[in-house]
Each structure stands twice: as structure tokens, then as C-alpha cells.
Structure 1
Amino acid sequence: MKQIAVVGAGSWGTALSMVLADNGCSVNLWSHRKEQAEEIQEKHTNAKYLPGISIPGGVSGTDSLSKALDGSEAVLLVVPAKSMREVLKRIRGLLKHPLLFIHGVKGIEPVTFKRMSEVICEEIPEELRRAVVVLSGPSHAEEVSLRHPTTVAVASKDSEAAKEAQNLFFNRYFRVYTNEDIVGVEIGGALKNIIALGAGISDGLGYGDNAKAALITRGLAEITRLGTKLGAHPLTFIGLTGMGDLIVTCTSVHSRNWRAGNLLGKGRKLENVLSHMGMVVEGVRTTEAAFALSKKINVEMPITEAIYQVLFEGKHPKDAVDELMGREKKDEIAALTESLSDKNSGKRQ
């Protein structure tokens, strides 16, 4: 029986713990809140994040990071992007042997604009990590916890590590593909949250399916432009962690980013929205990071810029939409084709 430490007991960390337990793994699920860890351990529930769901007995709750890691062969990180580096520093001081590091975090580190795999490699010495794998794709925790059919991808520079992660999670309701493009998988998973905010704003304004289809499609073009400039493979963005994740996040009430955007579109202020949500809305800080990064590396991202203006500059959502619609005429394919053939694009990793 494999022992896995899952760091982060939100809805996604809990759902993935259930998948691992269903596959015969012994899971130590870590929460920084003692009362939450005790609820998981004693009641086998996590009512705040997954109400009405019974957690398998193979999942143990703990608020001790040392206990969670002790004896584990792999660690699954499911914490907010802004907290990742701090958590990794704590983990580094507790490691006694090298682990497989897997993360399911869909975000970019604020200020540094680093992807989560980059943060892991910076904070965990090479001798203490066997490999780094990212798990991403169209997957609401609420549906995974109900064991509804779900398909995701795992990506790593180490193909054997990706296969190991695939074997850990693959089962009758949770299908897992491997992918070598860790840059594309991480960028797609993070930036789709920005477009989901936009889709929620559009719905909150009372616009219909036409507007949402445009946001998803042109949003994918923006994600692809930035991703390929950073070295991602363009085909990744028409797969599970690109278009797949965009569809599920932009069209479902399960999506906290869509829900936050919807409230913004209805006139609520950002501070009020975040307080109302009660959970981390990764798309907010990802918008800030992606906007700054796009300016730094000179990639055009008009939807991201518009959402940034709504979130951080007080622009009214309707004014942002009007400005997007009134932009200069363009050829649909030309800008994307130019970005894909850009000789200055980053080296694929």
C-alpha cells in the first residue's frame, strides 16, 4: 500500500485524497486548521468544502505536517498559489528522504510570476525530490467527490514520473492522460481562471451565450499566445488543460471564479465578493500576475487587461466590455499565427 501526503484540505485536496484512497493508497490529509483536521479524522467529513460527502476511511486528517510526510512516498500539494513557497519551506525542513512532488494548483505566484513547478524546484533541493509532476484538467472537486466521470492530465519533464502519477490516480471514474508539456499544462490551468472571471462577469451583466462563446474562444487565443511565448506546445491548449478546463470553468456554477465574476457583473465590489466567497479565488491574483507578465514579455492579452482594470482599477464591467468590442478591426488567425511562429518564443521545456 502506497502512503501519500496530501497538503491542503480544501475541496480539491479532499477530492483528490478520495481518489487516492479509492485506489488503495493510505492518505494523510494535512490541514493548517486543527478543527478541520479533527473533523476529517473523526467524522470523515469536510463539511465546509464538500458538504454531504463521506470521506473514505483510507484518508486520515492531521494538522501536523511532519506526521503527514512521515513514511510517505509522494506528496500532493493543493494549497493556494500565494502560499506555495511558504509551505514548501516548511516541508523542506521535515524531509528525510526524496519524494515525488505532485501539485494540483492552478495559479501563478504573485510578484515572481513563477509557475508552481518552478517554485517547487527552487525550494526543494534536487536530492530531496525524485521529480515534479503537475495534475490539471477540467475537474470540479464536487463532481470528483461524487465519483462522476472526470478526465485530467499529468505532466512532467520526467516521463516515468508522469506515468507513476498516472498510475496513482487512474481508476474507473478518474481517467488520467500523460503529457510532457509541463509549461503548457500549468499555464492553461492557471490562466483559464481569468477567462472564467470574465465569463461570470458577462453572465452577471445579463449577456448571453454569444458573449460567453466569444470570451472562451478569444480567451483561449490569449492563453495560447502567452503560453507559447513561455515555451509551451500550442497543441496543449486545445486539450484537457486548455480548452477542456476553459469549458468547465466558464460554464459551471461549481466554478468559484465564475461565481466571483458573476457577482462583479451584478455590481458587487471585489472586496465584498471575496468576503462572500469564503474560499480562495485564484483567478484574481492570477489576473494581476498574468497582466504584469504579458507587459513584461510583450504579449497582447486584451481580455486579461480588461479584467485587470475591472478588478484593480475600478472600471465598470460594462465599460470594459464596450472597449473590448470597440477595438480596432483584426484578422482572426493572423495574430495567433504570428505568435506561434515567433522566433523569440521561449525554448520548450
Structure 2
Amino acid sequence: MLVLGAGAWGTAMAIHLARRTQPGLVGLWARSTQQAKGLSEDRENQRYLPGHAFPAGLTICSDLAVALKDWRQQVAHQGRGLLVLASPISGLADLCASVYGVLGPAQPGEGLVWLCKGLVLQAEGDRALSWPSDLVSRGCPGWVAGALSGPSFAQEVAKGLPVALTLASQDLTWARQAAQDLHGQGMRVYASDDLVGVQVGGAIKNVLAIAAGVADTMALGANARAALITRGLAEAARLGQAMGANPETFLGLATLGDLVLTATGDLSRNRRVGMGLAAGKTLDQVLAELGHVAEGVATAPAIAALGERLKVELPITQAVCRLLAGQTTARQAMAELLTRDPTDEVRP
């Protein structure tokens, strides 16, 4: 197996995979020679995941072409293998293009798994919206691929603490096989063929976590946090239903599970964005202090645009968008949500 991207989540996944396989069968690719050199010498990722030592069998590399060709040879010998794409959604298209530029069409036994969550809103043209699956299918045409999603903090995965995730693909048979390849050493992986629902849930939960961070910093209480999570889940389900997703997906790991974790956990980047904004900091200040990508910031306007296109009401998402754009304050955004007209909880 080969993990492409040495951020926190990619590093944690590489550590997990190296623990459950024979030495030398898992590689971690870093974008720069300097980063790869530091990872090799320190045997940990001091920038993105400090304090988590690499297993002895984890190989570090910076030459993408060499890493991909070695991986292909390994797959030919082993019979099957996975490429794990661990870039943020903003870099996924370029990464896929690079992979396809080296490997071309997939060979038997080869597959892709991506770890990012979000929705890309193109600034030009017809303001096209792209899910990770769209970027992968365009960048690596013909490759079988899937999304790994669910409640997971990189630090806990690196520690080997228990975690349960969903691997979704349009090819359920392949998803089941790939889930087995990732399963073990504290990680439980469930297969799904609802790629739409898993992607919707994984994207919108980051936006909702920003709102939860605002509520917590404003000391609105546990009741308000629970209300935000529950009504946020309703937004995810409404959007997913409009896109043809399986309703049960939104009660599973990729939506409800991930939303609860991201909206309440102190390690959540998106929650910390909301906390910073509610404390009076600018978005630029918050992101500079964070030092990591918070996918919900770029995803919020894309989800809002999709809701408008599908005529789906997303009040929490829209409030977060206005807050991120500087069009309202945290206090005003919460006041707007609390003063909305009453309506039925369950709608036909």
C-alpha cells in the first residue's frame, strides 16, 4: 500500500497500515524532498503529527514516479493493493492527474481510496460543483475507487485507539474487499455503496461543526449544542435525499458519527474555527493559528450553493456562510437561527 500525502491524516493512516502489514509493504509519500528527509530522520511527523513514532517497516519517499512504479510492482506480486490519496480536496485533482500521468489506466488488483471530505465550488464558468468522486473519476478515469469516511481524529488513529469507518464505492464488491485491506489493529471498516450519501455527510458535518464551535464559545449550553447537531443532521438528510442518497446513511458513521465527533471533540479543526470566530478573531487569524486545513471553510459556500440549486433549506449552513464571509457576527448568526419561525420537525 502507498499513502500519498504526509499531513496529519495521511501520516496516521500510514502508521496504521504499517502496523498491520509486513515491513516494507507500506509507503508514505511526502511532497518535498526536505519533508521526506525530516520524516526519515525523525521517524515521526513533527509538524503535523508530533509524538507518534513510525513503525520500523514504514518507508518514506518523495519521488512520486518511483513510489508509484514500486507500488505497481508490489501489487503485481501481491495480487491487489490500494493507493490512499491523503491530500485536502483542494489538491485532489492535481494529485490524481499526477498519479494517472505516471501509471495511466489501472491494472488488475489496483484501486484508489481518498480521505478528504468536502465539495469544490469552481469560481469560474457555470460555478460547477465537484465532489471528491468527480475529481477522482476525471483525474484517474477507469480506476475503481472509494471514499473512506467516518468519525476519526488522526491523533487517536496514530495511537492505535479503536475507530470505526465507512468505505463507500459504487462497486460494493470492491468496497468490501478494500475494507478488509484496511481493517484491523483497532480499525473497523464497514463497506457501503452509497457514495453520494457518504460524501454529503462528510462534507456538511464540517460546516455544522463550525456552528457548534460558535455555540460553545458563546456558552449557549449543552442543550443548544444538541439542537445544532440534531437540526444539522436534518439538513444533511434533506440534502442527501434531494440527491438520491440512502436515508440510513445519515444515521451511520459517515454522517451522525462524524458529526457528533467533529461538533464536540476538542481536536476538531472546524469546531476550533467556530470558536475562534465567536471569540472575535478574524478568519485569517483563526486559520493562521490553526496551522492545518479546516475543510468546512471552503465547503460551506459550496454546500450553500448546492442547496440553492436543489431548493433545499439549509439555515445552519447559510448562517455559517455569512459568518465566514464577514457578513454577520457570531452573536447575530445565532440570534437569526433562534428567531426563525416555528415549523414541523418532520416534513413530508
- TM-score normalised by the chain length of structure 2: 0.92
Q: Distance in 2 between matches of 1:150 and 1:102?
A: 17
1:50 aligns with 2:49: yes
Q: Distance in 2 between matches of 1:125 and 1:106?
A: 20
| Structure 2 letter corresponding to 1:208 | G
1:116 aligns with 2:132: yes
Query: Which position in structure 2 is the counterpart of 1:63?
Result: 62
Deviation (angstroms), 1:20: 1.2
3-state SS of paired residue (1:9): coil
Query: Which position in structure 1 is the counterpart of 2:160?
Result: 147
Deviation (angstroms), 1:34: 2.4
| Structure 1 letter corresponding to 2:94 | E
2:300 aligned to which of 284, 287, 299: 287
Query: Which position in structure 2 is the counterpart of 1:100?
Result: 111
Superposed CA deviations along residues 122-163 of structure 1, whole A, max 9, x for unmatched, are 12121xx2x111110101111011111111111111122112
| Structure 2 letter corresponding to 1:82 | S
Q: Distance in 2 between matches of 1:220 and 1:277?
A: 26
1:10 aligns with 2:10: no
> Across the two proteins, how many residue pairs are aligned to each other?
329
Deviation (angstroms), 1:97: 5.3
Query: Which position in structure 2 is the counterpart of 1:185?
Result: 198
| Structure 1 letter corresponding to 2:116 | V
Q: Distance in 1 between matches of 2:130 and 2:323?
A: 24
> Which range moved further: 292-301 or 64-73?
64-73
In the TM superposition, 1:99-248 aligns within 5 A as 99-111=110-122, 112-126=128-142, 129=143, 131-248=144-261
3-state SS of paired residue (1:93): helix
3-state SS of paired residue (1:135): strand
8 Å contact from structure 2 (residues 16, 185) kept in 1: no
Query: Which position in structure 1 is the counterpart of 2:83?
Result: 75
Q: Distance in 2 between matches of 1:57 and 1:263?
A: 39
8 Å contact from structure 1 (residues 82, 110) kept in 2: no
Deviation (angstroms), 1:5: 1.8
Deviation (angstroms), 1:58: 2.3
Query: Which position in structure 2 is the counterpart of 1:333?
Result: 346
1:91 aligns with 2:99: yes
1:249 aligns with 2:262: yes
Query: Which position in structure 2 is the counterpart of 1:32?
Result: 31
8 Å contact from structure 1 (residues 102, 135) kept in 2: yes
Identity %: 38
Deviation (angstroms), 1:319: 0.5
3-state SS of paired residue (2:59): strand
Q: Distance in 2 between matches of 1:97 and 1:293?
A: 32
Q: Distance in 2 between matches of 1:122 and 1:187?
A: 19
Q: Which runs of 5+ in 1 are unaligned?
A: 339-349
3-state SS of paired residue (2:156): helix
8 Å contact from structure 2 (residues 82, 178) kept in 1: no
8 Å contact from structure 1 (residues 204, 264) kept in 2: no
| Structure 1 letter corresponding to 2:256 | M
Q: Distance in 1 between matches of 2:273 and 2:325?
A: 14
> Which range moved further: 69-78 or 296-305?
69-78
Query: Which position in structure 1 is the counterpart of 2:19?
Result: 22
> Which range moved further: 223-232 or 213-222?
223-232
Q: Which runs of 5+ in 2 are unaligned?
A: 72-80, 123-127
> Which range moved further: 140-149 or 80-89?
80-89
Superposed CA deviations along residues 283-309 of structure 1, whole A, max 9, x for unmatched, are 000101101111111110000000000
Q: Distance in 1 between matches of 2:326 and 2:280?
A: 15
Q: Distance in 1 between matches of 2:315 and 2:151?
A: 24
Query: Which position in structure 2 is the counterpart of 1:343?
Result: none
